Chains A and B, each alone.
Chain A
Amino acid sequence: MAVGVPAVEASGLVKRFGGLIAVDHVDLRVDVGEVYGILGPNGAGKTTFLRMLFGLIRPDAGTLRVFGRTWGDAGPSMLDGVAGFIESPRFYPYLSGRRNLDLLAGLDGGGADSRIDEVLDVVDLAGRAGDKVGGYSFGMRQRLGVAASLLRDPQLLVLDEPANGLDPAGIRDMRALVTRLAAGGLTVLLSSHNMDEVEEICDNVTIMRTGRVVYHGSINQLRAQAPDPSHRLVTSDDAQALRLGADHPAVSVSAHPDGGLALRAQPADADAYILALGQAGVAVRALHLEVAPLESLFFMLTESDPAAGFDVPAQTQPDTLTGATS
């Protein structure tokens, strides 16, 4: 691999299914060592992009390079050094986890079989490796999918919704696993529809909507551009609380459609407002964070009208939030 060659580089990538444009002129670059997230709601084109990356389908236009190689130049060798899974990983249910890995190691060659014990340890499946995969839980299969990927000793790990379908403990374990792998220097490309997941794990992110890129940049940039957190506030006197809100220009208080008040403010401003409520004799009975700042921005980016562009509230206008794919 040449120095400076990105792990993944997509340029003007287009994929159509009949009249539907699933991926629409997507440009994307994942540098070596990055943990990169592709974020978007269902149908945004994330999985279609990953299918093209793995050579399962061909782009209708544009180029997609993996470590500088294209499918046209290198054929299946394009995937050398790449591992991962699309949607949920699948195995032969009548064989044990270890036997499945054994088989895949045989397909990979290159001494992959000598890594079986090691990768089973990494995903914490060594104790259940002898059990048939048919009896595995969804989370165990996801972890076995990661183990099967690590068998290839990849330089790039591609995971499509790795926490999808997992229970909270499984989600926590999966995120910890990916974080651990990334800390070891592995380049990770992760697709998700969960902002929290991407925020927790990734350095950079591309947000997609109906096949198009609506944002890409670092998570830190995105965080800085996020709107204020949105809370639902229930008080002993909502009318009085609403009036007090007018005295605090840094907070936005309005009636909540489900009762109580909607409070949108930065944490420090919200604190000041809550203290003011107490001083005015208004008791706070409940304060729930409804939409986290990044999640709120994600919704703005992915739910506004693409024909007219994506309107972002004035207070959150970021100079870098161009939506262009550069």
Chain B
Amino acid sequence: MTIPATTATAPVPPATIDLRPVGRGRVVTAYRWEITKLAAQARTRATLAVCLVAPFVFVVLLDRQDRLPKDTLYGRWVHASGFATPLMILGFAAQWVFPLLTSLVAGDIFASEDQHGTWKTILTRSHSRTQIFWAKTLAAATFATLVLTVLALSCLAAGVLLVGHQPLESLSGTLLPSGRTAGLVLAAWASALPPLLGFTALGIMLSVLTRSSPMGIVGPIVLGLVMQLYAFLNGADTIRHLLLVTPFDAWHGLLAAHPYYGPLRDGTLVSVGYILICLAVAYTALRRRDITGG
């Protein structure tokens, strides 16, 4: 007897791909899950602890030095006013510390699922790629914001507690009263948030595209340094304004005798541009990629 091969059935239309709006409830659930996962990681906790403690150690070490870091903005004032410390650290952090801090999570958050082969574990639990993408992106942005907040407050506390709250000289040479300076210092740190989120998006994109945590973490730092180098070499001005490191300097306008906000506005627009482009590339790549092996 011959067993016939499978009989073809009547033609049916191709199955549709889910293009429905994102289920917000499930994004929130996945976001909480990702935050819990981040909180369970020693690296995340260690990073926050370093952000909390390092400024105090830095100020103590600086206090014992006779030579001041005069080539750094506000470096010459670190013994004169506690408000100079957070501003000096802000200028320094923009070079590579911010890209490093945010990419520790952003550069790893997608790639770690590839590394552990856990994509299928997640996606077989009633969550779509879209929901997981936004949950992870929000978690990475939350971490970046938290790191910036902790570091800003810690720097300000270290400066004020260990050096004092003396008036600070503005970039125009006028003295700024203590009360106003504290607000300006915090505003200056807040101005670093858009480019920091830009680097977060860059880390996310590299994490998705390369599926490699080391590439996702190191990539933004290297790109940041290349941008710094370009700016340092006085490259074309238009391009310099489009670099993601340029908005880190936008706070200078806040510390002038007559504040100007153009760089803040331009920096925010550039950062938003990076965020949109990087997330669009990452999202598209994640939606299209074959994760059946991972």
Contact = CB atoms under 8 A, between A and B. Distances in A.
Is chain B a partner of chain A in the same complex? yes
Interface of A: 11-12, 24-27, 51, 54-64, 70-72, 75-77, 79-80, 82-87, 89-95, 99, 102-104, 106-109, 148, 152, 212-215, 301, 306-312, 314, 317-318, 321-325
Contacts of A85: 120-121, 124
Interface in B87-127: 116-118, 120-127
B125 A79 contact: yes
A71 B20 CA distance: 11
A62 B15 CA distance: 7
B32 interface: yes
Interface string B28-45: 011011001100110000
A99 B2 contact: no
A89 to B, nearest CB: 7
Nearest to A94: B41
B4 interface: yes
Interface in B247-276: none
Given A61-B11, A93-B116, A79 B126 contact: yes
Question: Ordered nearest first, which 3 A-B pairs have the shortest CB separation?
Answer: A323-B3, A309-B2, A12-B9
A59 B6 contact: no
A56 B292 CA distance: 7
A12 B6 CA distance: 10
B40 A91 contact: no
Contacts of B10: 12
Given A93-B116, A103-B36, A323-B5, A72 B16 contact: yes
B120 A12 contact: no
Interface string B50-78: 00000000000000000000000000000
A80 to B, nearest CB: 6
A17 B15 CA distance: 16
B234 interface: no
B14 interface: yes
Nearest to B2: A309
B116 A107 contact: no
A324 B11 CA distance: 17
Given A106-B36, A301-B3, A58 B15 contact: yes
Contacts of B124: 54, 56, 79, 82-86
Given A308-B2, A325-B7, A90 B120 contact: yes
A311 B1 contact: yes
Nearest to A316: B1
Contacts of B40: 95, 99, 103
Of B3, B12, B30, B121, chain A has the most CB atoms within 10 Å of the CB of B3
Contact of A90 (B8, B36, B37, B117): B117
Which of B8, B9, B122 is the most central at the interface, judged by chain A CB atoms within 10 Å of its CB?
B9
B18 interface: yes
B131 interface: yes
Contact of B37 (A24, A26, A92): A92
B5 A306 contact: yes
Contact of B6 (A26, A83, A107, A312): A26
B46 interface: no
Nearest to A311: B2
By size class, the interface of chain B is 35 or more
Contacts of A212: 5-6
Nearest to B135: A107
17 contacts: A56-B292, A58-B15, A60-B14, A61-B15, A71-B16, A76-B18, A76-B127, A79-B124, A86-B120, A92-B118, A104-B121, A212-B6, A301-B3, A308-B2, A311-B3, A324-B4, A324-B7
B117 A11 contact: no
B124 to A, nearest CB: 5
A215 B3 contact: yes
B125 A63 contact: no
B12 A214 contact: no
Contacts of B5: 212, 214, 306-307, 309-310, 323
A191 to B, nearest CB: 14
A106 B15 contact: no
A148 B121 CA distance: 9
B178 interface: no
Contacts of A301: 3
Contacts of B123: 54-56
A325 B6 contact: yes
Given A64-B15, A318-B1, 10 more contacts: A56-B124, A56-B292, A60-B14, A91-B116, A106-B32, A214-B5, A310-B2, A323-B3, A323-B4, A324-B4
Contacts of B154: none
Instruction: Give the one of B5, B13, B116, B118 with max A CB within 10 A.
Output: B5
Nearest to A145: B121
